[in-house]
Homo-oligomer: A and B are copies of this chain.
């Protein structure tokens, strides 16, 4: 059993293994499926990962934390992890595999629903441990972080390779002395390419760089 303990309430886990496409509809049109558990599991997973990143990176700002988390818990990543930890095999024991072709994030959805089921069955602390010990190790944190932080260095790298002159200009500073919002424009060879906003100049430059990476099709 994936959770490493005997489940207290087996029906929750059965429900987690019921994708919406396979759920039965009640006479009143309510579909019994794992979607509600997925909603709950997504929230619990988000909270656990938030605390993990908060503790692991005491000197990084909330922009970094938010972006790293959204990369860790995105649909594709979760789907891969769902398959890795055996949800595909488990599901195949229940239904024919042909029945669930076509839903790209099926196992990610089940993984989230599964987290929701564990939470209802065993509480927050148990679920937290389970996520940290059994799910997080499948997340390529280092790989993700490297793509989170270095938009600006990506731009610098690119400009050197392409012999372009890159310049960051502060367009304006909104707000008062205390609450500032910097608006930064990124110029390539004198031409404005992208804009970015942020509560510090550094953040605004990062955002401008990120936008420029998209505009200029610079691969990350």
Contacts and interface: CB of A to CB of B under 8 A. Distances in A.
Interface of A: 19-22, 29-31, 35-36, 38-40, 42-44, 46-47, 49-51, 54, 59-62, 65-66, 99-103, 116, 119, 124-125, 175-176, 178-180, 199-200, 202
B51 A40 contact: yes
Q: State the number of copies, please.
A: 2
Given A62-B35, A102-B176, A179-B102, A40 B50 contact: yes
Contacts of A99: 178
A200 B31 CA distance: 9
Nearest to A113: B62
Contact of A179 (B21, B38, B39): B21
A54 B39 contact: yes
B100 A179 contact: yes
15 contacts: A21-B175, A21-B178, A21-B179, A21-B180, A21-B199, A31-B61, A31-B199, A31-B200, A36-B60, A36-B61, A40-B54, A43-B51, A44-B51, A51-B119, A124-B125
A61 B33 CA distance: 9
